Amino acid sequence: MLFAPSIANATTSPVGTPASAPAVVGAQTGTGVDGEYVVVLKPEAAAAANEGVADSISDAAGGEVTEVFDTAIDGYSATLTAAEASAVAADPRVQSVEPVQTMVALAEQVSPPNWGDDRIDQRAFPLDGRFVYPDSAGAGVHVYVIDSGIRGTHSEFAGRLGNGFDATGAGQPYQDCNGHGTHVAGTAAGTTYGVAKKATVHSVRILGCNGKGPSDASLAAIEWIMENAQRPAVVNYSIGCLTACSYPALDEAVKNLIASGISWVQAAGNSNDNACLYSPQRVPEAVTVGNSTRQDVKNSTSSYGSCLDLWAPGTDIISSFHTSDTATKSLSGTSMASPHVAGSAALMLGETPSVTPAQITQALVGNATTGVLSGLDGASPSRLLYTGFLNPTTTTPTAVDLAAIPDQTSTVGTAVDLAVTATGGTAPYTYSASGLPAGLSISATTGRITGTPTTAATSSVTVTVRDAASPATQDSVTFSWKVNASTTPPSTCTGTSVSSGTLASGAQAISATFSRTAAGTIEVCLDGPTGADFDAYLQKRSSSGTWTTVARGITTAPDEKFSYSATAGTYRVVVVSDSGSGAYTATVK
């Protein structure tokens, strides 16, 4: 993708705007693989045999079906002209048509010694030169590495390779002409450099020798895993778009795989950008990982934001490489951070094979080391991967402890998002609350209190956390929560409204287009909800129909205002909720 933001292009209309005519999702970006599309079927159409529906649509609208999906998603990939793609999108059996995008490996090359395994099993510096892990070391767990392949003869994986899949057409999952996949697999489960040293490794090859591949290969990989996976299993996906990209079919496929009981761990990306603007990094059920350095600092290239779950060592990581059976290489990127977490998930599954993806996420996030990372933005979690909780011989069992919660003050109509933190005990935790203000609720699995207060009042709130030990331990905290009546100030935006409505956290809205017949200044003003972080982007349409961001307001405030010296042309405004939710108005003049 070539511009930002592009989450859910043309799929989210501003509140109060009529739904548009059937269109190809993301077609206006102009960055898809020429002539290749993914067609997602509506549930009622998918009730029939997908292959028959695909052939029927192709016969009516044109194009050639290349692959049919019936597990990860209901749909198919096809070669289509732009006109045929539009005709397919208009078919009543079709939910969406999306151009195939180019996905890339997420890494950079450097050359110092390894340190990642040493960091994740201890809370603080200095490093002790040891990596302590459970004796099971992931034995019996299956780690699926979606990447550029794995050198199957490498000594790091001797005797521990399972069946594999090659979506590149070469039919050789255990060959790797790029090296990225071999390196990632070595970090997750290599004998010397890996976290889960006894896990079985499966190569799922979708990238070519240049480290690139089409996004429908990711769909084929997920489809194959869902139909062939040996369990318990975890997937590592150190792949993504170079610039902000929306791929709803891939998001849906990842959600379906996780719902089937397989954990999905993925790299946040190396664009130093908000990971919530990328597919599938924006999928909340997945575990999304940022890159931290050996000084516990955010790597300058790592993507960030509220869609991240954890940070892990990803800078100067030494692991296996593809050039010989004993080769190693030092690489940096979120690609290197992600397999530390995937390997940790495999360690947990090795100890307790019955744990669910949600329980794995809760345990890894809940036991992460807090307060040691620096260089983070306000939306990113300050949580560094920690595996020591899996080592009963190195930790002393303690009762669960709920951190103090200060008294809260909110306003009617303004969204609330309050994180509650528990430590100690035995994860996963279960949270509950009594006395919450009307309109608010607590997540039983994460402890996060969210919602929008509806009534002005003062409440005494008690939050309780219970751990999974036998017998269980619990802790409670009581605090005051005052909700004030709404005192929303009048909007400071005085131009012509082009978009208004309500956005949830991580969502976006695209305005109707407007034109300028002559050169002049365009002033964009966004009035967002108090306490949220809303951003605005001004985009211009080119003669070929693609949209490019020409100006933006991306502070951490709810309101944005900026000007652009415009030439004649067609423009639109994109409003994105980076964090928080509520009503907004965007104007131009």
Q: How far is CA 500 from CA 554, 577, 583, in A?
A: 18, 13, 7
Is 335 among the catalytic positions? Answer: yes
Judged by DSSP in three states, 105 sits in strand
Assess contact for 502 and 492: CB atoms under 8 A: no
User: Within a 13 Å sphere around the CA of 268, how many CA atoms are in the beta-carbon half?
Assistant: 34
Q: How far is CA 390 from CA 130, 269, 291, 397, in A?
A: 15, 28, 22, 11
Is 202 among the catalytic positions? Answer: no
What is the H or E stretch that residue 256 is in? helix 248-259
Is 118 among the catalytic positions? Answer: no
Strand extents, DSSP E, 443-519: 449-451, 457-466, 474-484, 496-503, 508-510, 514-516
φ and ψ at residue 55, rounded to 5 degrees: -65, -40
**Candidate list 218, 246, 335, 500, residue with the active-site label:** 335
Q: How far apart are CA 229 and CA 164, in angstroms?
A: 10
Q: How far apart are CA 192 and CA 343, in angstroms?
A: 13
β-partners of residue 539 are 549, 572
Assess contact for 54 and 40: CB atoms under 8 A: no
**Candidate list 142, 154, 180, 202, residue with the active-site label:** 180
> Residue written as tokens 């997945």?
286
**Candidate list 74, 91, 121, 147, residue with the active-site label:** 147
Neighbours of 398 (CB within 10 A): 13
- With a CB cutoff of 8 Å and minimum separation 6, the contacts of 413 are 452, 453, 454, 486, 488, 582, 583
Q: Which residues are catalytic?
A: 147, 180, 335
